[in-house]
Amino acid sequence: MRIPELFGPGAPVFSFEFFLPKTPEDTATLFGSISELKRLGPAFVTLTYGAAGTARERTVETAGRVKSELGVETACHLTCITHTRSEIADLLRRIRGLGIESVVALRGDPPKDAQAPPPGRRDFGYARDLVGFIRERADFSIGVAGYPEKHPEAPSIEEDVRRLAEKVAAGGDWVITQLFFDNRDYFEFVKEARAAGIRVPIVPGIMPVTGYGQLKRFTNLCGATIPFRMAADLELIKDDPEAVVRYGIEHGAKQCRELLDKGAPGIHFYTLNKSRSTREILRNLRGS
């Protein structure tokens, strides 16, 4: 069953995101976490993309291993800001050759050590261009990104939703949101998206809190907000790693329960290549 078809009536869809490992030790940790989380029966997993050099090769290789060795449906992230059309076409052929039928199509961030050309001078100016290219040339189901608190580069939430509508019109089949911690942001975002004519599933992306410093770094990078009450709670326990993890599990379970009770089609967990927090939250949701 293709990923968009999973989001029908019935039980919510649970999925996990893993990031591309950088070292052999990280790779072992990744596959250990995936093996543990596989027991929870995820509908699919996604793997983030390394755009440069050998990271690009490891993305394809690792996604193929996840699919073949663990038997978990896999959606491979694909970014386009540094790629030509011929490079993307080659990557799509290779990904498809591994039996992977889904991709998450993203513009991607500019390279850290260089400035990306302006949109008009790139083969793919925006994520919608990548989505359209994939849809025209390959039989993939395509996930796209949504931003409940808007993309950091967007001038307004309204403009950001218009961009999302363009990605869906170009061929996006489902939306995974950026992480957030206030469910009101998600529900308002869904309301805006539906008003803009977006009818595909919009899946909330949830990152369990596992470390206060790490949380602050991630939210600074992606533009997400840490609610005042949450920040105050974590400030009191930030020097107790175990207390922070327990807090993240409790907060994550409550957040996910409310999302599901109010109509979210599932939960996409940003696992950070760890298993404990995601495992305990999901078991809480399933009552086991």
Q: Round to whole Å and give the CA distance between 168 and 131.
A: 8
Cα distances from 173 to residues 134, 140, 156, 234, in angstroms, run 12, 10, 24, 37
Of the candidates 117, 119, 173, 118, the one whose C-alpha atom is nearest the C-alpha of residue 146 is 173
**Radius of gyration, CA atoms only, the chain:** 18
Rounded distance, CA 44 to CA 76, Å?
A: 11
Query: d(Cα 97, Cα 167) in Å, to the nearest integer?
Result: 25
Structure tokens at 173: 């089949």
Q: Work out the angle at residue 35's Cα, subtended by the Cα atoms of residues 280 and 18, and round it to the nearest 5 degrees.
A: 75
DSSP state of 245: H
C-alpha distances (whole Å) from 65 to each of 34, 41, 62 are 11, 18, 5
DSSP 8-state secondary structure symbol assigned to residue 103: E
**Active-site positions?**
17
Q: Extract the tokens encoding 64.
A: 């193929």
The first and second tokens of residue 120, run together, are 């008009």
Structure tokens at 219: 């939210």
